[in-house]
Amino acid sequence: MATSWLSVTIPMINTIPGRVLDTETLYPIREVSRLSGVNSVTLRAWERRYGLLVPQRTESGHRLYSMRDIDRVRAIVNWIARGVPVSKVATIIDRQVMPTLSLATTPQIDNQAEQHLQAAREQLMAAVTGGDLIELERVYALTFSRWTLTQVCNDVLLPVWRQYRLQARQVGATGHWALFDGFLRGRLLQRLAFLQPARASVLLVSLQPPEDEVEVLLASLFLAEADINIAYLSCLPTVEDLSLMTASGRYQALLLFSDRALESNLLVRELPRLNLQLECPVAVVGACCELQSAALQRSNISRLGLAQRSLTDSVRQLLAGRFDS
């Protein structure tokens, strides 16, 4: 008979060698599947074939997962969505390299706070599923009023957006993703326009495909909220146009954002040209910094998407001429 709990707090019980149950809230596999959007068959395969997950177990053998495990599942999904083979994901995650968004370290939250954040995620998804734009607007506004930008991005908006992005490949799910993606893009651009100063000092250029623009918009918003004066460009201009834009000395840095591997021509030819011809520092931001670390290092391009650096601190160091990638 299947266990009927959604979550449970269990004292320490000896289970498999070297692994014990901690005193914390733990979730059965079907609840992890609901929270992450990854089906239970895939979760078991990640555990057995690739060692990506090591769930705790009850004496009867039921798998139980902590919130750390669920965060790991979300990170796995994020890297796979960026084209990283599942067989290589463990190496990246175990070096504590997280996708760019986490834009900054999210403070540890207790179980009650996580329940409230989960409720916000569920309310957003219910509004999208029901096509209720008024409710979607209400929940979106309420979320920003209750939590920090880091929590809103990392714990509410991105998990929901990524779950819809993942599900968009399924029949009948494309409309929900398109609705939420369009809504979120519009609201983020609106918020970014409100925060942008009359005179920006940093150009942030999206190298993302159009369907992944939300991630670079959130990065732009995070920097703007931290008083880094951003001018957002939705696509990469020519080297000549960028040279004209930066020749006056108005812009102190050019940031190129991509959470996917860069195309070979851009990586091998265009980036070195930019680095040589522009009169301001050029840096790349995002998961590409990890995915193509060696190639970027050979091009002498600064890489801001490295592990354990907050994006805002890295940009400030770059502007001050102190960044060492």
- Classify residue 325: in a domain, yes or no: no
Same domain, 170 and 202: no
Q: What tens digit of pLDDT does each residue of 188-202 get?
A: 999 988 887 767 789
User: Which of 100, 188, 79 lies closest to 144 in space, CA to CA?
Assistant: 188
Q: Which residues of 141-170 are buried (b: 16+ CB within 10 A; e: fewer)?
A: eebeeebebbbbbbbbbbbbbbbbbbebee
Given a contact cutoff of 8 angstroms between Cβ atoms, the answer to whether 315 and 282 are in contact is: no
Structure tokens at 241: 């146009």
Q: Provide the domain limits for residue 149.
A: 111-192
Q: What is the DSSP letter of 20?
A: B
Mean local confidence (pLDDT), 109-114: 72
Same domain, 206 and 282: yes
Residues in the chain, total: 325
Domain count, the chain: 3
Residue 188, domain CATH: 1.10.1240.10
| Model pLDDT, residue 98 | 45
Q: What is the pLDDT of residue 68?
A: 84
Residues 188 and 206 in one domain: no
Looking at residue 284, its pLDDT comes to 92
16 belongs to a structural domain: yes
Domain contains 47:
yes
Please state the rounded mean pLDDT for residues 161-174: 75
* Token representation of residue 314: 């890295």
On whether both 205 and 186 belong to a single domain, the answer is: no
278, 216, 307, 277 alpha-carbon torsion, rounded to 10°: -10
| SS3 of residue 243 by DSSP | helix
Max mean pLDDT among 65-69, 129-133, 246-250, 289-293 falls in: 129-133
Would you say 275 and 311 are in contact if contact means Cβ atoms under 8 Å apart? no
User: Are residues 126 and 77 part of one domain?
Assistant: no
Task: Please report how the helices 158-167 and 213-225 are oriented relative to each other, as an axis angle in degrees rounded to 10.
Answer: 170
Task: Give yes or no: residues 36 and 77 share one domain.
Answer: yes
Residues 179 and 207 in one domain: no
Is residue 103 predicted with pLDDT exceeding 70? no
Rg of the chain in Å (alpha carbons)? 21
Q: Is there a domain that residue 66 lies in?
A: yes
| DSSP type of residue 289 | H
Residue 1 lies in a domain: no
Torsion of CA 319, 316, 149, 196, to 10 degrees: -30
CA distance 236 to 225: 23
Percent of all residues in the chain with a pLDDT value above 70, rounded to a whole number: 84
DSSP state letter for 301: -
In the DSSP assignment, the letter for residue 52 is -
Please say if the pLDDT value at position 53 is more than 80: yes
Is-contact 180 128, C-beta < 8 A?
Answer: yes
**pLDDT tens by residue, 217-268:** 988 888 888 888 889 999 999 989 999 888 878 899 999 999 888 888 888 8
Same domain, 288 and 208: yes
Cα(22)–Cα(19) distance, rounded to whole angstroms?
A: 9
Q: Is the pLDDT of residue 69 over 60?
A: yes
Distances (CA, A) of 84 to 88, 94, 173, 259: 7, 14, 23, 11
| pLDDT above 50: residue 167 | yes
Q: Which two tokens stand for residue 124?
A: 């957003």
Question: What's residue 248's pLDDT?
Answer: 79
Using 50, 70 and 90 to split pLDDT, how confident is the model at 41? very high
pLDDT at 51 over 60: yes
Percent of the chain scoring above 90 in pLDDT: 27
Q: In what order do the strands lie in the sheet with 282-285?
A: 230-233, 202-206, 253-257, 282-285, 302-303
Predicted local distance difference test score (pLDDT) of residue 11 = 35
Give the chain's mean pLDDT.
81
Q: Which of 164, 192, 220 is the last residue of a domain?
A: 192
Tell me which of 94, 126, 145 is where a domain ends.
Answer: 94
When pLDDT is cut at 50, 70 and 90, the band that residue 2 belongs to is very low
Q: What would the mean pLDDT of 263-284 be, rounded to a whole number?
A: 89
pLDDT category of residue 178 using cuts at 50, 70 and 90: very high
Report how far residue 184's alpha carbon sits from residue 94's, in angstroms, rounded to the nearest whole number.
Answer: 31
Instruction: Give the range among 77-86, 154-163, 177-186 with minimum mean pLDDT.
Output: 77-86
Q: Is residue 101 part of a domain?
A: no
Is 102 inside a domain boundary?
no
Examine the domain organization and report whether 176 and 255 are in the same domain. Answer: no
Residue 83 sits in a domain of what CATH number? 1.10.1660.10
Shared domain for 280 and 219, answered yes or no, is: yes
Ramachandran area for residue 172 (φ above 0: left; ψ -120 to 50: alpha; else beta): left
- Picking from 178, 182, 97, 191, the residue whose alpha carbon sits closest to that of residue 152 is 191
Question: How much is the pLDDT for 179?
Answer: 94
Q: pTM value?
A: 0.72
pLDDT at 90: 81
User: What's residue 70's pLDDT?
Assistant: 86
Residue 107: pLDDT over 60 = no
Per-residue pLDDT tens digits for 4-21: 334 444 333 333 333 333
Residue 197 CB-half CA count within 13 A: 13
* Last residue of one domain, picked from the residues 160, 192, 224: 192
Comparison of pLDDT for 293 and 137, the residue scoring more: 137
